[in-house]
A and B are shown apart, each in its own frame.
Chain A
């Protein structure tokens, strides 16, 4: 159905919007790290320099993946999946603990968070499984198998504990089975079951750590100088930015260290404070541009596998952004989800660039073998 198209196989708009978000993030990391380094650490060899290197690595990975036939990745995805499960178990047993949770593997002094790249692996495995079984996708067995594929890593990251990432795994699965055309009754039934079991889960499964975070979400002032401090200060930072913000590197909350983890979890608060509502709208526009270009990849994919991969990637980036920003502006309780492309951190940045590479791979190949 799709005609041969001679021009613009590679989606530069998609790539450029990703790079623009990364550059935007670098500005914010620069401003945020001025505060925590107290101005003495050379900034460019510090966090900003590291992030630039990660971005370059990500870009290389992106281009490499985009040149690879994504169907080749599908072949290896099962092996990657078992590797991921092993890595997540490894993290839980001997991982590095930061802020009360184990999410990282320490390799040569660098903390690697396998759950980030794991989200892409799950996307590939689900896409492969659902496209291989596209004829029987309305069968309960296929539905449940796909659910199991997502739930296993979700439970492992939930135990870290990382409720945010676990939620992302489930949302990726949900988006992909809907795209694959699963029986809507199965989906609603699963959602109904989860909602019905939620109260029990809160008692039995949710740890004190998570319960405390949820309590703090509703009343951060209860511990305004302790655990509630970050929540309150992030809210003040964003709110005080107003329409145009206080100017990059001129936010008092950011620069005087009232805002903590201002280069990672709360980087959006730096943006809100220093660049204001207008700055946030620019960020939103870049994200929307990137995500809609991602959906375009899904729309023009030549096969079901590529389409599912594209949808998985869009859901992944959309909800990482939604949850991260939502935490900053008091929509969600605290979870340690990075803001894609923007937050300081190699695992996340390289992962989202690989994700971009996957989208490009789908786009580049859509014309080669007409359906």
Chain B
């Protein structure tokens, strides 16, 4: 179609004269023709901008509309003890839920009342939730009404589902710990992810209602146990109805973990500690393989039932656990530090031997105390007592065997002409033994302990270091503090020739395909570089402790034990001048070819009277079971 303003008329018409009026008409019609072109020009430009220039962006938005990524939860890996005993279970738990989109509006109240009757959740809350969801943009996602239904509730609800449109029984995975308190401190537990954890983990594919290992092995090996979530791409229509699965990336189940823990040994150690606790508010024990650092038993009392934390947490139970003065939630074997008492003499003794302060024949006489004048005011005399006044003159072996405090005062701080190690050298040695730092065990929440030195005292307490501080330090009193696990590692180092180990609970990892891998773990933190002669001197002293020394109760009928007791004063002085005492024993066996180290700690007790006999029972148990003894050997 063509128009012209000139005298050229329609192409089909012969060329002819036209009137002015006709020309005017054609001119106006031409303008309207231009208007048509301009209008469609505007539309074309805008359409080109949207479809051709921004098409990709809009396509993405259309895809976002259409596709919903539904996460597929992986099955969490299991945890076994060293003998294959399963320590966790993945159970199904039932939850009541409603899909708001499927609830007929006039039935809100009826359905809410029925659900109240079954679950006990107030009907008002349920109707509010249904209405809230119905107005939200995903009325198809089930809204949880109550989790952890009893089997009776779940059954009752399931029976009535047909008459309750929109109601659902959901099956959710729930972690269960069959051994309960026995393994609670080792395993920890999983729980709903909290906001901080979510902020940290969301990039790793965690969702707001995911479960995550909160503490213990569940926390340490979260990455292995969790597996990898999958996704389903589901096509959804505008009202959120899922139409079909377009693509699926299956979830990869988590790897299973085999621990070095021996459940039977753990149970026996727990029983022995419970029987020996007396008035102790808490107690702990560690059984270590002295060659590999494998932890065979790790007990902290009082314990708690970690199943409490896996479902809906009962606020009252939680309150009781948190307020209990004996701190059942704390792993006393690794998370709290105590004065080690005379078990620390292993450190002082070996340091003195290696530094040439003493040798096996160094003779020191204990008259029951030594007296030291105040450096600034010689008229003030401080007295440092031995635990017994009849120890007499001793060589190194007897000093260790009888646990003479005076003997170790000399070694640590010197006396008269006798040159001691001094506070700084002793502190340096203590640190080389791994004290004052975390052991690196594969559990969260470890305490570093405390190794004092003059600089530390000045900075922390604001006072100068005194000779008396060195004396106390030398016998494991005063400021020095360790965890039971740290002392077990000191003893293991004595036993294994001077290797300070990195303890661990992980033995094997089994992935979902059944491949077993033994992870390469760091087992030796450092070698102390102590001469064998000196180690043997210390070992002999520790052997004599149970043979004819301070702690005959530490001897075992089934093996030759070497060890060191500790009785550490703590807290305020009592009216009669005595203190409450921690009881320790840290020893190893067999004396000739060491396999395991055992450290026992009672919050209240006595090294020789309480801790050593408990340790002896552990050695008895371990070495009276041939299969177990072999399992400990590498």
Closest residue on chain A to residue B67 by CB atoms: A252
A119 within 8 A of B: no
Evaluate contact between B1 and A242: CB separation under 8 angstroms: no
Q: Which of B37, B40, B48, B63 has the most CB of A within 10 A?
A: B40
Which of chain A's residues have a CB closer than 8 A to the CB of B39? Answer: 318-319, 321-322
Contacting pair B58 A277 (CB below 8 A)? no
B19 is an interface residue with CB less than 8 A from chain A? yes
* B-facing residues in A220-262 (Cβ within 8 Å): 225, 233, 235-243, 252-253, 256-258
Q: Beyond A5-B12, A235-B50, is A287–B40 a contact (Cβ under 8 Å)?
A: yes
> Would you call B55 and A299 a contact (CB within 8 A)?
no
CB pair B44 A239 closer than 8 Å: no
Q: Once the chains bind, are B32 and A288 in contact (CB under 8 Å)?
A: no
**Cα separation A314 to B30 with both chains bound (whole Å):** 13
| A314-B55 contact in complex given A1-B22, A240-B61, A288-B37, C-beta closer than 8 Å | no
Bound complex: CA A239 to CA B42 (Å): 16
Asked if A280 and B52 sit within 8 Å, CB to CB, the answer is no
Whether B36 pairs with A329 at a CB distance below 8 angstroms is no
Residues of A287-319 contacting chain B, CB below 8 A: 287-289, 291-293, 295-296, 298-300, 307, 311, 314-315, 318-319
CB–CB B40/A284 < 8 A: yes
Q: Quick one: given A239-B51, A240-B62, are A329 and B238 in contact (CB under 8 Å)?
A: no
Chain A nearest CB: distance from B244 CB in Å? 11
A117 at the interface (CB under 8 A from B): no
Nearest CB on B from A361, distance (A): 18
Quick one: given A236-B61, A240-B59, A284-B44, are A178 and B28 in contact (CB under 8 Å)?
Answer: yes
**Nearest chain B CB to A319's CB is how many angstroms away?**
8
* Complex Cα–Cα for A78 and B12 (A): 37
**Do B28 and A179 touch (CB < 8 A)?**
yes
Do A175 and B52 have beta carbons less than 8 Å apart?
no
* B3 proximal to A (CB < 8 A): yes
Tell me whether B374 is interfacial, beta carbon within 8 Å.
no
User: Is residue A202 within 8 Å, beta carbon to beta carbon, of the partner chain?
Assistant: no
Cβ distance A289 to chain B, nearest Cβ, rounded Å? 8
Contact code string A90-121 (vs B, CB < 8 Å = 1, else 0): 00000000000000000000000000000000
Does B51 contact A243, Cβ atoms closer than 8 Å?
Answer: yes
B239 to A257, Cβ gap below 8 A? yes
* A127 at interface, CB cutoff 8 A: no
Which of B37, B43, B238 has most chain A Cβ within 10 Å? B43
Hey, which chain A residues are within 8 Å of B36, CB to CB?
288, 291-292, 295, 314, 318
B residues near A242, Cβ cutoff 8 Å:
51-52, 55, 59
Cβ-defined partner of B44 (8 Å) among A5, A256, A281, A330: A281
When the two chains form their complex, are residues B32 and A253 in contact, meaning their CB atoms are under 8 A apart? no
* A253 and B47 contacting across the interface, CB-CB below 8 Å: no
Decide: A272 and B51 in contact? CB cutoff 8 A. yes
- Please tell me if the beta carbons of A299 and B238 are within 8 angstroms of each other in the complex: no
A293 to B2, CA, bound (A): 10
B197 contacts A by Cβ under 8 Å = no
Interface residues of B in 1-58 (CB under 8 A from A): 1, 3, 10, 12-14, 16, 18-19, 22, 24-26, 28-29, 32-33, 35-37, 39-40, 42-44, 46-48, 50-52, 54-55, 57-58
Instruction: Report the Cα distance A239→B10, complex, angstroms.
Output: 41
CB-based contact A314/B32 at 8 Å: yes
Partner of A299, one of B25, B62, B235: B25
A257 contacts which chain B residues (CB < 8 A)? 237-239
Contact (A277, B32) CB under 8 Å given A253-B65, A257-B239: no
Residues of B within 8 A of A292 (CB): 1, 33, 36
Query: Closest CB-CB distance, B40 to chain A, in whole Å?
Result: 5
- Which residue of A has the minimal Cβ distance to B243? A256
Q: SS class of chain B's interface: helix, strand, loop or mixed?
A: helix
Q: Is A325 an interface residue (CB 8 A)?
A: yes
Given A3-B14, A281-B44, A284-B40, the answer on whether A256 and B237 have CB atoms closer than 8 Å is: yes
The CA-CA distance from A323 to B236 in the complex, in Å, is 32
Given contacts A5-B12, A175-B32, A238-B47, whether A243 and B235 have CB atoms under 8 Å apart is no
Give the interface size bracket for B toward A.
35 or more
Chain A positions within 8 Å of B14 at CB level: 3
- Does A86 lie at the interface of the complex (its beta carbon under 8 Å from any beta carbon of B)? no
Cα of A234 to Cα of B149 in the assembled complex, Å: 45
Complex: chain B residue closest to A273, CB-CB = B62
Contacts of B52 in A (CB 8 A): 242-243, 277
Contact with B along A1-21 (1 / 0, CB 8 A): 111010000000000000000
Query: Which of B12, B18, B65 is the one whose CB lies under 8 Å from A1?
Result: B18
The chain A residue with its CB closest to the CB of B35 is: A318
The answer to whether the Cβ of B431 comes within 8 Å of any Cβ in the partner chain is no
Q: Evaluate contact between A329 and B47: CB separation under 8 angstroms.
A: yes
Instruction: Report Cα–Cα, A241/B62, bound state, in Å.
Output: 10
Q: Contacts A239-B51, A276-B51 given; indicate if A325 touches B43 (C-beta within 8 A).
A: yes
Q: Is the CB of A240 within 8 A of B55?
A: yes
Q: How far is the CA of A72 from the CA of B46 in the complex (A)?
A: 43
Contacts of B16 in A (CB 8 A): 1, 3
Whether B62 contacts A277 by the Cβ 8 Å rule is no
State in angstroms the CA–CA spacing of A363 and B43 once bound together: 29
| Residue A56 interfacial (CB < 8 Å) | no
Give every chain A residue within 8 A of B35 (Cβ-Cβ): 318
Residue picked from A252, A281, A299, most chain B C-beta under 10 Å: A299
> CA separation between A318 and B237, bound complex, in Å?
35
Taking the complex as formed, is A140 at the interface, i.e. its CB lies under 8 A from any CB of chain B?
A: no
Residue of B nearest to A322 (CB): B39
* Distance A318 CA – B40 CA, assembled complex (angstroms): 9
**Interface check B457, CB cutoff 8 A:** no
Q: Which of B13, B58, B66 is within 8 Å of A256, CB to CB?
A: B66
Q: Which residue of B lies closest to A38 (CB)?
A: B237
Q: Report yes or no: A272 in contact with B47, Cβ–Cβ below 8 A.
A: yes
Would you call B43 and A326 a contact (CB within 8 A)? yes
A194 at the interface (CB under 8 A from B): no
- In the complex, are the beta carbons of B51 and A299 less than 8 A apart? no
Any B CB within 8 A of the CB of A191: no
| B62 to chain A: closest residue by CB | A240
Query: Please, which residue of chain B has its CB at the minimum distance from the CB of A315?
Result: B32
Q: Mark B227-245, 1 if CB is under 8 A from A, else 0.
A: 0000000011111000100
Contact pattern, B 392-421, Cβ under 8 Å of A = 1, otherwise 0: 000000000000000000000000000000
- Shortest beta-carbon distance from A259 to chain B in Å: 8
How distant is B133 from chain A, measured CB to nearest CB, in Å?
A: 14
B83 CB within 8 Å of chain A = no
Within 8 Å by CB of A236, from B18, B24, B43, B58, lies B58
Q: Which residues of A contact B91 (CB under 8 A)?
A: none
Interface 1/0s, chain A 259-291, versus B by CB < 8 A? 000000000000011001100110010011101
Interface string of A173-188 (1 = CB under 8 A from B): 0010011010000000
Which residues of chain A come closer than 8 Å to B40, judged between CB atoms?
284, 287-288
Of B25, B36, B65, B238, which is in contact with the most chain A CB atoms at under 10 Å from its CB? B36
Q: Is the C-beta of A331 less than 8 angstroms from some C-beta in chain B?
A: yes
Q: Which residue of A lies closest to B37 (CB)?
A: A288
CB distance from A123 to the nearest CB of B (A): 14
Judging by beta carbons under 8 Å apart, are B238 and A258 in contact? yes
- New contact pairs (7) apart from A236-B62, A242-B55, A296-B1, CB-CB < 8 Å: A5-B13, A239-B58, A243-B55, A273-B62, A293-B1, A322-B42, A329-B47
Q: List 16 A-B contacts (CB under 8 A).
A: A179-B28, A236-B58, A237-B62, A239-B57, A239-B59, A243-B51, A257-B238, A258-B66, A258-B237, A292-B33, A295-B1, A299-B29, A300-B10, A330-B46, A330-B50, A331-B42
| A residues whose Cβ falls under 8 Å from a Cβ of B | 1-3, 5, 175, 178-179, 181, 225, 233, 235-243, 252-253, 256-258, 272-273, 276-277, 280-281, 284, 287-289, 291-293, 295-296, 298-300, 307, 311, 314-315, 318-319, 321-322, 325-326, 329-331
When A and B form their complex, which 4 residue pairs have the shortest distance between CB atoms, in order from nearest? A239-B58, A240-B62, A242-B55, A257-B238
> What is B's interface to A at a CB cutoff of 8 Å?
1, 3, 10, 12-14, 16, 18-19, 22, 24-26, 28-29, 32-33, 35-37, 39-40, 42-44, 46-48, 50-52, 54-55, 57-59, 61-63, 65-66, 137, 235-239, 243
